[in-house]
Amino acid sequence: METYFLSIGELRAALAAGKLSAAQIITNTFERIASVEPHIHAYVKLLQESALAEAEQIDKEIKAGIIKPLSGIPIALKDILCTKGIETTCCSRILQNFVPPYDATVVTKLREAGAIFVGKTNMDEFAMGSSTETSLFGATRNPYDGERIPGGSSGGSAAAVAANECAAAIASDTGGSIRQPATLCGVVGLKPTYGRVSRYGLIAFASSMDQVGPITQNSADCATMLNVIAGYDRRDSTSVNIPVPDYTQFLGRDITGWKIGIPKEYFLDGIDAEIRRALNKTIEGLEANGAKCLEVSLPHTEYCIAVYYIIAPAEASSNLARYDGVKYGLRARNFGDLIDMYKKTRSYGFGAEVKRRIMLGTYVLSAGYYDAYYKKASQVRALIKRDFQEAFAICDVILAPTTPTCAFKIGEKIDDPMQMYLFDIFTLSANLAGIPGISVPCGYTEAGLPIGAQFLAGHFEEGKLLQIAAVHEQNAAFTKRRLRI
């Protein structure tokens, strides 16, 4: 029986009705993985044995009448989330043999909700990249076109969901790493508000922006996943202790009278014509649903890339300093003294992009440069945040493109970091401001590549994002294109 293409909602219904067992679902998922994974390479580690064992356990529970929110649902985890007893590498040589003795809080919550972990997914090394090409384990391919990138850094997670190698995935987003690959792979990706989901056990890249979120087939699944992972965690001092609403309640509500802000700074030249058309169509659809569009301004948008590429590398240079060969992970062989061990370990252990960002971050924090770079960037960051506050004073949500173009070809930008950085121009701002954003599919190019758009909302307004995403989904009325693979 083929079940791999079913959404979480559909799988839950079938499990509850006794039409499917968790064992069947998991078995079929691994059959699907076996057939498509050679073309995709979404995973860096598969957990078939434990997944099947867990499925049997879940089936027992279901027989006993216990159905949890994610009972028997096959979930993929980005390899940046710590999993107890299972290698967690961040797709870096420096952590290649690292096995955490603890689960990330999100992983614990998913387990408790009955989720079954299918495997760990590919990503750019330490989430630094926009294409999943900087992974130690090699690139992931876009399920819609094997010559193209799936986006990044959560390319493995987005591709796994798009290619139906799992029902949903959990990833992380520091500058667009959930929303951007979700867009390029034609699935839904949500970056929650900074502080909405615990970061405990999420391997840090840029601590003030990292956030965990789901990648799913649709907005309803996204709400289900967010229900499970959201909430205060006393182990994460930056998680916020405010109640978590039932996010599924926002699904199916209409958006009559809503004001949708269209930021003029995001609709300048340089956006692909097909994307622009798809966005216009999205706007028309939402207006037909009773929403009103208005132009808003985010005047400090032009500084986002500069600010991001100061703050994120600064934090990263400090966060990644712990990988020094002393305690865990890689230690270079044949070193002389202590300094030599550090140098050899880190030279061999980190890839080029990670090294570039460590150097950049070290530089901007150095004595004599701190004020000119880090401090100035922090001040501008406050202005970017204020731009959004002012915009949300007059609109409910903002609609913006996720990427300037659709998925580019593998190898196309890997040697040009500046071009690679510019690809994230529309997603960085949400991380700088700490606000939530959701990317939703809104069509395909003539060549058959997915196009997406993102909605942004004020802090802790994930409900609004899911509400409008669900309306858009109904509205756009595009049928899910079956993959050729």
Catalytic residue among 177, 198, 219, 317: 177
Catalytic residue among 21, 71, 78, 219: 78
Instruction: Mark residues 167-206: x for contact with another protein by CB under 8 A, - for none.
Output: --------------------------------xxxxxx-x
SS3 letters across 243-307: CCCCHHHHCCCCCCCCEEEEEHHHCCCCCCHHHHHHHHHHHHHHHHCCCEEEEECCCCHHHHHHH
- Residue of 78, 76, 82 whose CA lies nearest to 203: 82
- Residue closer to another protein by CB (options 327, 482) is 327
Q: Are 217 and 188 in contact (CB under 8 A)?
A: yes
- Residue of 175, 190, 163 whose CA lies nearest to 76: 163
Query: What does the block give as tokens for 86?
Result: 């299972």
What's the one-letter identity of residue 47?
L
- Residue closer to another protein by CB (options 207, 289) is 207
**177 among known catalytic residues:** yes
| Torsion angle of C-alpha atoms 99, 100, 105, 109, degrees rounded to 10 | 40
DSSP H stretches of helix in 350-403: 352-365, 376-392
Q: Are 73 and 83 in contact (CB under 8 A)?
A: no
Q: How far is the CB of 192 from another protein (least distance, A)?
A: 17
Q: How far is the CB of 431 from another protein (least distance, A)?
A: 12
- Residue closer to another protein by CB (options 90, 406) is 90
Q: How far is the CB of 201 from another protein (least distance, A)?
A: 4
Judged by CB under 8 A, the stretch of 288-296, 326-334, 412-420, 456-464 that binds another protein is 326-334
- Residue closer to another protein by CB (options 41, 111) is 111
Determine if the peptide bond prior to 153 is cis (ω within 30°).
yes
Among 81, 118, 391, 453, binds another protein (CB under 8 A): 81
Residues 19-78 that bind another protein (CB under 8 A): none
Q: How far is the CB of 112 from another protein (least distance, A)?
A: 19
DSSP H stretches of helix in 170-218: 179-184
**50 among known catalytic residues:** no
**135 among known catalytic residues:** no
Residues that bind another protein (CB under 8 A): 81-82, 88, 90, 95, 98, 100-102, 104, 199-204, 206-208, 234-238, 314-315, 317-318, 321-322, 324, 326-328, 338, 342, 362, 365-367, 370, 374, 378
- Residues with catalytic function: 78, 153, 177
